[in-house]
Structure 1
Amino acid sequence: MLGALVGVAGSLVQGGWFPGGLLLALLGAAGAFLGGARLTGTRGGAVAPAAGWFVAVILLTSTRPEGDFVFGAGTGSYVFLLGGMAVAVICATLGLPGQPQGPAARLGK
């Protein structure tokens, strides 16, 4: 749910205050993805908010029968879509915490 909320908020902010809104939207998405990975300690923690973000953003890209839409055809919209996907992949692969602290001895001895 947090990923969907970040996706909707980012979709509205990125077009409103270009280029600062775009940067804010991508940083918010990165915070949600990286926070999920750090909170759970697994890659799935980053994938869950990324999936919610992706679903919300894809649903907002479709037009309604009345012709209303959230995303314009500008470069900021494409940077938000592709940049958000890239940030999700980066946070899922690099967002894991380090090895757990323990004794320096080898296991099994």
Structure 2
Amino acid sequence: MPPGGSALAQPLNFARIASYGVLFVLGAVVGTAGALVQGGWFPGGLLLALLGAAGLFHGGVRVIGSRAGAVAPAAGWLVAVMLLTASRPEGDFLFGAGIGSYAFLLGGMAVAVMCATLG
């Protein structure tokens, strides 16, 4: 725990806000790349995508030093994945209805929750 209280009680400075922003963008990039890889090389791509997400979420915890380090990239990952699951008016979509897509969605969320809640 940081000196002087919990991480949420610490004042926000520019470096902390910038690091959360960078982690958010990295989460969106990992989510987009994972969406492409998991469908292209099943089942190895699914494992690679989930390991990449887990590495980013855990790395965020280690770099920031608090659980909020996993929440920022998880939020970016979730935003990117949800935008990619929505179908367009033309009927195009990136995620097909299959076991790999659902495993990526649910597995990524489970990994994010594990990294954000485990000490």
TM-score, with normalisation over the residues of structure 1?
Answer: 0.86
- Is 1:92 equivalent to 2:112 in the alignment? no
**What residue is the counterpart of 2:100 in the other structure?**
76
Question: RMSD in angstroms over aligned alpha carbons?
Answer: 0.6
1:32-77 CA-partner distances (Å, limit 9, x unpaired): 1000000011010000000000000000000011111000000100
TM-score, with normalisation over the residues of structure 2?
Answer: 0.78
- Is 1:36 equivalent to 2:60 in the alignment? yes
The offset of 1:93, in angstroms, is: 1.6
Give the fraction of aligned pairs with identical amino acids, expressed as a percent. Answer: 79
More helix by share: 2
Residue 76 of structure 1 aligns to which amino acid in structure 2? G
Q: For the pair shown, which has the larger CA radius of gyration, 1 or 2?
A: 1
Residue segments in structure 2 that go unaligned for 5+ positions in a row: 1-24
Residue 107 of structure 2 aligns to which amino acid in structure 1? G
Q: For the residues of structure 2 that align with 1:93 and 1:65, how far apart are their CA atoms?
A: 38
**What residue is the counterpart of 1:45 in the other structure?**
69
